[in-house]
Structure 1
Amino acid sequence: MFKNFLLVHKKTLKFFLRTQSTIYALSSGQGKCGVAVIRVSGASTELALQCLTGLSNPKPRTAILRSIKHPSNHEILDKGLILWFPGPHSFTGEDCCEFHVHGGIAVVNSVLNALGSLPDLRLAEPGEFTRRAFHNGKLDLTEVEGLADLLQAETEIQRKQAFLQTQGALSKLYNKWRGSLIKSVAHIEAHIDFEETETIDEGVLEHIVKEIETMRDEIDKHLNDGRKGELLRNGVKTVILGEPNVGKSSLLNLLCKRPAAIVTPVEGTTRDILEVTLNIEGYPLVLADTAGLRTETDDIVEKEGIIRAKRSYECADLVILVIDSEKYYSWLHNHSSGSTTDYLKFYVEKLGLHDLLNYESNDEIFTKECIIVFNKLDLVENSLNLQNSSQINCLSCKSEDGVPDLVNSISNKLKVLCGEPSAEHPSMNQVRHRQHLSNCLKCLNSSLEKSSNDTVLMAESLRKALRHLGYLVGVTTTEQLLDVIFKDFCIGK
């Protein structure tokens, strides 16, 4: 127990010393560039500014052109713009300044070395500027995560979702629930304390129950959003499936506009999973090419490829099912009464993907979101005579006819899967959010079950629910949780 006490206080002391020091780092990108931004934050920032530029009491948030000198020998290192942000009106909440210097590597290193020569200044750790902003109440945890996503965003819709989160779209929602729950806990505790004296208004408990039921329904709706935010943040996992030599690799190359996959007339060319990440009209698509599926093969390598293809299918959010138009035309010739739906069922069963078929519904054929592609259209002389042709894409990978229509179909599917980010209806995008909200929902349901017979236990369940909402925004937190959240931040942010 004494060891645990020492360990806790050692961590507290280490954190205190770390936050008391003044930090600096290159905040712009590495390598040669026109302008580099070096950021400083902490109690000794003004001293550092004075030592390198001679400025004292500079005008806040005003760009000033100054020579930057080494504090030891007063050699001029560069001439650049200086910005001063006195705390608490800064990104970190502390005194901050920025040196906007020429972006050459030697220039940047000389300024960093000059800052490092000053007492009480040290190089910042990854994400330390943002971490200080969090500890000083400038950002909550959801806004911190939004900032991290904004730095990682590769598509326009990802950027939009991340930016809305940095502006508090999620934290406003979670803090609204948290504020409502704090009131409910306060009222029910007052009800418990004053129940015997009857000095509290009648109907308070009934009102609390209605409030909790409303919140429970809102959280449940928020959780059951089809993982839209998570899919947008991580990319929609999409797998191309079909028989050998049906044109899967050719399709992948067409979509990514480069020869990413090897294409030959030989069946079974693709053995392993080949993944590429694409930007489809602002939505992220993680596209996987797979081995051709068939139930019988003596090739041990091909068998492993088929196993991996099915494993990739199981994890996929979207399936692109590729079909040989010639084979469909031949089947239709031999099955005059058969329909396109009949062939799709026959084809999927032939591939061994029985769980992809929805046997319980006549309207929805597939159990997953699926795009059907009839390839090799250039080899078919007559019309394919497709039923439900609006749901089917016909193309030729050889002539590239029909590719724009396929891209449009993929884009429409991505819009359905990911949604459109908005401040009014923000989507959670972290597994951490889902876990805490699910636990909060369990506690709310537990409190409602106890509302009729034990208000003390009901209050305890509400306090647990409140704790989970606190973990979401960072009111209740641990150093381990913060380490996980900040581990992917870059130095200088």
Structure 2
Amino acid sequence: MATSKDSIVALSSGRLPAGIAVIRISGPKTRFVIETIAGGIKDRFATLRKLMAPDGSVIDHGLVVFFPGPGSFTGEDVGEFHVHGSRAVAAKMLETLTGFAGVRHAEPGEFTRRAFLNGKLNLVETEALADLVNAETEAQRRFAVRNAEGAQSELYSGWRRRLIHARAMIEAEIDFADEEDVPGSVSKAVWTDVAAMADEIERHIQGFKAAEIIRDGFEVVILGAPNAGKSSLFNSLAQREAAIVTDEPGTTRDLLEVVLDLHGMRVRVVDTAGLREAAGKVETIGIERARAKAGGADLVLLLEDMVDPQPVGAVPTGVPLLRIGTKTDLMGARRGAYDLAISSKEGTGISELLDEILGRAATAVGGAGDILPSRLRHVELLEEAKDFLLAALSGQSLELRAEELRVATDRLGRITGAVDVEDMLDVIFSQFCIGK
């Protein structure tokens, strides 16, 4: 049975084969395992060693590093073996390490979970570390690094400290209501700060949309009548034949998606079924999906064939929209009533379109320099905390208002893990790979 007293081991580097494989071990048996396999080494120094199997055979030659706890990533004794990155070497190393009593394979995220349980990270920093591991664009990396360094945690902890102080002042007023040493001006100042904090939290919550765009991508949906050039544009942006392009109307019947990295910004482009009235059953389903997808997009590109314009019916309202004329290779550079005119065949206007998409994506995350809530979990707890603050501000009984402050403090503490959050741990740490 797996327990937290076991030592855990896993491949912590990338997919094999590779130039080097890094195998990590953490737990009470770490030093014994290293000294048995590699001999004695100096703490925190990378040492080249011959790595020996129990039968006396050589597994490999590699670097060994030992980090004594609590000054390690997990807070426990941690070791790393840097060996040649073949599948055979990694498999033999893992087989040898787990052959020791009390040493087992790590579960997903278990190294980071131990770091949290040992006070090396809080929950917000843990989630930021997961974002950093999964970052694909420069914007995602910057966002994750800032949170991993504690900017987001400090904001939430700061609010919590202010609430703890507010509760102390209010409870002092309750306990010493008859004492002259507790002036009413103290209570007034507390409630002024609580009102300001409720406003701060609400403004912070409003930044979640920008955080979603950074993490999940700025969603661009291509709409238009059949043969308006949607799939041709989609392929041009993807720089490959991702969608079938023919003269037959209704070729695209389902949603197709490609992810672009535009100067460090993640952008998701979605190709959709052509919008028309006279369509078969399957195509009609595709059209319904297209309209629904466009309704939740960050930007809609409404394409129209300038040679043969066709009606598309109602378009989504409340969504930013660019009207784009297509096939300028047949019509010339005339823009007319369109925001942009392009030719996917010749590449005309594509760079201008990409610049426009990037500009709108950058505007959508314009507050990315601010501290943003990075998880829906944060937003939900922040909403609850704000509601309790508002209830405290509007309450009558001082005892009940103090209780509202206590519950709001609890909700803020749950974000960083400052209170009991065991029910959330499995969900959070399951996001990590085995070796993290």
TM range (shorter): over 0.9
Match of 1:306?
287
The 2-side partners of 1:456 and 1:393 are apart by: 62
- CA displacement at 1:84 relative to structure 2: 1.1
Q: Secondary structure at the match of 2:194?
A: helix
Q: Secondary structure at the match of 2:307?
A: helix
Q: Secondary structure at the match of 2:340?
A: strand
Aligned amino acid, residue 42 of structure 2: K
1:480 to 423, 428, 431: 423
Paired residues of 2:296 and 2:319 also in contact (CA < 8 A): no
Match of 1:456?
399
Paired residues of 1:227 and 1:429 also in contact (CA < 8 A): no
Aligned amino acid, residue 289 of structure 1: D
The 1-side partners of 2:180 and 2:101 are apart by: 65
Residue-by-residue CA offset, 1:308-360 (whole Å, 9 max, x unaligned): 111211232221111222356xxxxxxxxxxxxxxxxxx8xx5333552xxxx
Paired residues of 1:87 and 1:95 also in contact (CA < 8 A): yes
1:45 to 11, 18, 30: 30
Is 1:410 aligned to 2:357, yes or no? yes
Range with greater deviation from structure 2 (58-67 or 204-213): 58-67
Is 1:22 aligned to 2:4, yes or no? no
Match of 2:223?
241
- CA displacement at 1:384 relative to structure 2: 3.5
Match of 2:156?
174
Q: Secondary structure at the match of 1:19?
A: coil
Aligned amino acid, residue 320 of structure 2: E
Is 1:368 aligned to 2:315, yes or no? no
The 1-side partners of 2:115 and 2:299 are apart by: 39
- CA displacement at 1:113 relative to structure 2: 1.4
Match of 1:123?
105
- CA 1:122–1:179 in structure 2 vs 1: closer, same or farther (change >3 Å)? same
The 2-side partners of 1:277 and 1:397 are apart by: 18
- CA displacement at 1:184 relative to structure 2: 0.8
Paired residues of 2:306 and 2:328 also in contact (CA < 8 A): yes
| TM-score, structure 2 normalization | 0.96
**Could you tell me the percent identity over the aligned residues?**
42
Is 1:394 aligned to 2:341, yes or no? yes
The 1-side partners of 2:65 and 2:235 are apart by: 48
Aligned amino acid, residue 437 of structure 1: L
Residue-by-residue CA offset, 1:432-451 (whole Å, 9 max, x unaligned): 1110111111011111101x
Paired residues of 1:467 and 1:476 also in contact (CA < 8 A): yes
Paired residues of 2:125 and 2:150 also in contact (CA < 8 A): yes
Match of 1:383?
334
The 1-side partners of 2:315 and 2:288 are apart by: 15
The 2-side partners of 1:179 and 1:306 are apart by: 52
Paired residues of 1:226 and 1:417 also in contact (CA < 8 A): no
Range with greater deviation from structure 2 (472-481 or 207-216): 472-481
- The 5 A counterparts of 1:259-270 are 259-270=241-252
Is 1:440 aligned to 2:400, yes or no? no
Please tell me the root mean square deviation across aligned C-alpha atoms, in Å. 1.7
Paired residues of 1:440 and 1:466 also in contact (CA < 8 A): yes
- CA 1:354–1:252 in structure 2 vs 1: closer, same or farther (change >3 Å)? closer
The 2-side partners of 1:483 and 1:352 are apart by: 47
- CA 1:201–1:43 in structure 2 vs 1: closer, same or farther (change >3 Å)? farther
The 1-side partners of 2:327 and 2:398 are apart by: 69
- CA displacement at 1:477 relative to structure 2: 3.5
Structure 2: 5+ residue runs without aligned partners?
A: none
The 2-side partners of 1:308 and 1:408 are apart by: 27
Residue-by-residue CA offset, 1:349-377 (whole Å, 9 max, x unaligned): x5333552xxxxxxxxxx21222321111
Aligned amino acid, residue 414 of structure 2: Y
- CA displacement at 1:488 relative to structure 2: 2.2
Q: Secondary structure at the match of 1:31?
A: coil
- CA displacement at 1:183 relative to structure 2: 0.8
Paired residues of 2:208 and 2:379 also in contact (CA < 8 A): no
- CA displacement at 1:90 relative to structure 2: 0.5
The 1-side partners of 2:20 and 2:281 are apart by: 56
The 1-side partners of 2:89 and 2:30 are apart by: 20
Match of 2:376?
431
The 2-side partners of 1:227 and 1:76 are apart by: 54
The 2-side partners of 1:351 and 1:457 are apart by: 58
- CA displacement at 1:197 relative to structure 2: 2.6
Q: Secondary structure at the match of 1:34?
A: strand
Residue-by-residue CA offset, 1:153-205 (whole Å, 9 max, x unaligned): 11111111111111112111111111111111111111111112333234111
The count of aligned residue pairs is: 436
The 1-side partners of 2:322 and 2:44 are apart by: 53
